Amino acid sequence: MSVLYNNIEETAIRTGEARTRLPFQSHNDCQIVEEDYVQKASAFTHITRLSQSANGGAEAVLDGGAVTAVNITAAGSGFSTAPAVTVNGDGSSATASAVIEGDKLSSIEVTGGGSGYTVATLTIGEPVATYAWLRSDTNPDAVIVEEGKTMGIDCGLVEFTRVFSEVPPQRIEYEQISFQQPAIYSTTTIQSKAAYMAMPVAKATYDYFLTAPEYVPTITLAVATTITAQTPTLDDAYSGNTVLAQDDSLTRWMGDIWERKRLEVTLQ
């Protein structure tokens, strides 16, 4: 039996339960969310993954000369931390603090009502981030990374799936690599151990960055120390030192989330 959808508007409507999965076996600190949507075919356009950030707006509610509540008029976007809130007006001592959900304002709490206000306005700090990413309805920490193809259904509607992901925290794994252990010198002229090829276990550190494509070049990439067989260019080549085995690599993980891989080995 086909599913009937009623009151479908121009904007996409989420249907059913969100599906979640964990992308890494090494830890469960990152969640990928898949959400299904229905929309009028005539109104459908692929979403823009990110947009310019926007400042928030709010109005103060006064009672007896004090600020008693704050109503948000614009949630803004692109907030990575809660912005500062300043109460302005003809009274004194009123204070408030912002609460964000995902990258948007969710509420502003009055922490001190002050006194003597007949007029009060609020100044909200601007977002630090330049861009704002679309967030999941069910997990505000997850940003859009993919939108699937549409499939036509009855009544001039299309259904499709959006995929959202949290930015993974740093993770560490270990892998065996081919690496030239350098010659170790007791002085600059006396060789105490010859260089040799080895298959050590390397420490692989993965770091993740949510950033617009034009800012990807600002992600720091370290260059491996060059090692030759007889004359290592290491400033100090001592057994037990940890060095970079390869230049850092950077790849697009999902959407605008980028993965940097750093391989380190211990000199033997």
What range defines the domain where residue 86 resides? Answer: 54-129
Residues 260, 177: one domain?
yes
Residue 75 inside a domain? The answer is: yes
- Whether 87 contacts 108, CB under 8 Å: no
| pLDDT at site 6 | 57
Question: Three-state SS for 246?
Answer: coil
pLDDT > 50? residue 75: yes
pLDDT above 70 covers a percentage of the chain that reads 86
Task: Round to whole Å and give the CA distance between 19 and 7.
Answer: 24
Residues 175, 255: one domain?
yes
Residue 46 inside a domain? The answer is: no
Domain count, the chain: 2
Question: Three-state SS for 211?
Answer: coil
Residue 139 inside a domain? The answer is: no
Residue 196 inside a domain? The answer is: yes
Of 95, 129, 163, the position where a domain reaches its end is 129
Q: How confident is the model at residue 253 (pLDDT cuts 50, 70, 90)?
A: very high
pLDDT > 80? residue 52: no
Of 109, 129, 149, the position where a domain reaches its end is 129
> What backbone phi and psi angles, to 5 degrees, belong to 142?
-100, 130
| pLDDT at site 244 | 87
Q: How confident is the model at residue 25 (pLDDT cuts 50, 70, 90)?
A: confident
Residues 177, 249: one domain?
yes
Of 97, 129, 161, the position where a domain reaches its end is 129
Residues 124, 182: one domain?
no
Q: Which residue has the higher pLDDT, 129 or 248?
A: 248
Residues 179, 107: one domain?
no
Residues 178, 121: one domain?
no
| pLDDT at site 226 | 57
pTM: 0.70
Beta bridge partners of 57: 74
| pLDDT at site 50 | 77
Residue 65 inside a domain? The answer is: yes
- Class of residue 108 by CB neighbours under 10 A (exposed 0-12, middle 13-18, buried 19+): buried
Residues 72, 123: one domain?
yes
Residue 13 inside a domain? The answer is: no
Residues 116, 188: one domain?
no
pLDDT > 50? residue 153: yes
Residue 59 inside a domain? The answer is: yes
Mean pLDDT of 165-181: 90
| pLDDT at site 2 | 47
- Whether 62 contacts 117, CB under 8 Å: yes
Task: Round to whole Å and give the CA distance between 179 and 143.
Answer: 38
Instruction: Name the helix (H) or strand (E) containing 179.
Output: strand 179-181
Residue 202 inside a domain? The answer is: yes
